[in-house]
Amino acid sequence: MTTPDPTVTDTTLTVTTPGDRVIHIERIFDAPLDRVWAAHSEPDLLARWWGRGNRLDIEKFEFERGGHWRFVEHADGETHGFEGRFREITPKERIVQTFEWDGMPGYVSIDTATFVDLGDGRTKIVTESLFHTTDERDGMLQSGMESGLSASYVALDRLLAA
Amino acid sequence: MRPRVLTPPFPGATLNQMVQYSDLDSTFAALADPTRRGILEHLTNGPASISDLAARFEMSLPGITKHIRLLEEAGLVLTEKKGRVRYCTLGANPLDHEAAWIRGHRKSIEDRMDRLAAFLDETKEPS
């Protein structure tokens, strides 16, 4: 586990988009796997970082396969609700969950967090978000509008790069 | 410690903008024509005047203007008059919602990872 990974340096974040439907983020934390896992599996601990510095209410946290989670983040006098279901929980290895923001109902991503014990007291988290593209976009794919589609993709690429 | 930055879940987009993604009829209508798709593709290279577009697509000014208007109504193209020339650029379109969604989610994850790192530091047991 000590072989250097060329794509990751200490504590840095690497973000790649292998396809336009996946976000891949890796980050190394200077903490052992047990503590990193606890920060994800214990709601009291989760509430202290998940809100990104904002107050977070954990309304539901059924930490089991099929379990429902719902968090409400308070920022700038507004509330933002997030929710989903756990699809897979493998202790100290993997959490797969659906993710949806109240502000865009029906836009669901599937988020996978993989925990890697680096064996030196540090832990790597690899997150992958898979975005279900919407019907309108798939519809465009199927309607054979090659030039229109490529124009849209160029525009989308530009937006994503911004 | 990092300064706490309040970041809305989807930066750069208001809730209203985000939920108005359902009106796709005009988009489909606008895209259902090879000339209009050609115009869009051409505009990915940068802005063009309406007369440039008319020449490029071998159309009359009224003809190209009609296409531009449909694209404009669908939010796919923006036009702006500079002096006596009207320029077209790519506009916001429904794909923006997907882009905002993906971009916003990525930002959220990055922010969360930052906070997790800070949290793990703060709660570190003295060794």
Q: How do residues A59-84 score in pLDDT, each as one tens digit?
A: 999 999 999 999 999 987 888 899 99
Residues B103, A159 contacting (CB under 8 angstroms): yes
Per the structure, the complete domain to which residue A49 belongs is given by 14-161
In chain A, which residues have their Cβ closer than 8 Å to the Cβ of B102? 20, 23, 129, 131, 160
**Which stretches in chain A have pLDDT values below 70?**
1-20, 132-162
| CA atoms of A24 and A155, how far apart (whole Å) | 21
Q: Do A80 and B118 touch (CB under 8 A)?
A: no
Nearest residue to B100 (alpha-carbon basis) of A151, A132, A76, A159: A159
- Two tokens, residue B97: 């919602």
Residue A63 domain flag: yes
B6 vs A54: CB contact, 8 Å cut-off? yes
Q: Are residues A104 and B31, on separate chains, in Cβ contact within 8 Å?
A: no
**What parts of chain B have a pLDDT lower than 50?**
1-22
Range 47-76 of A in CB contact (< 8 A) with B: 48-54, 73, 75-76
Task: Establish if A144 belongs to a structural domain.
Answer: yes
Number of domains in chain A: 1
Domain assignment of residue A6, yes or no: no
CATH code where residue A76 lies: 3.30.530.20
CB contact at 8 A, B27 and A136: yes
Q: What distance in Å separates residue B34's CA from the closest CA in chain A?
A: 8
Could you give the CA distance from residue A27 to residue A49 in angstroms, rounded to a whole number? 15
Q: Which residues of B touch A12 (CB under 8 A)?
A: none
Domain annotation covers residue A102: yes
Q: What is the pTM of this model?
A: 0.58
Instruction: Output the DSSP codes for B42-86.
Output: HHTT--EEHHHHHHHTT--HHHHHHHHHHHHHTTSEEEEEETTEE
Question: ipTM of the assembly?
Answer: 0.70
Mark B72-92 as b/e (b = at least 16 C-beta within 10 Å). bebbbbebeeeeeeebbebbb
Q: Which residues of B touch A11 (CB under 8 A)?
A: 117
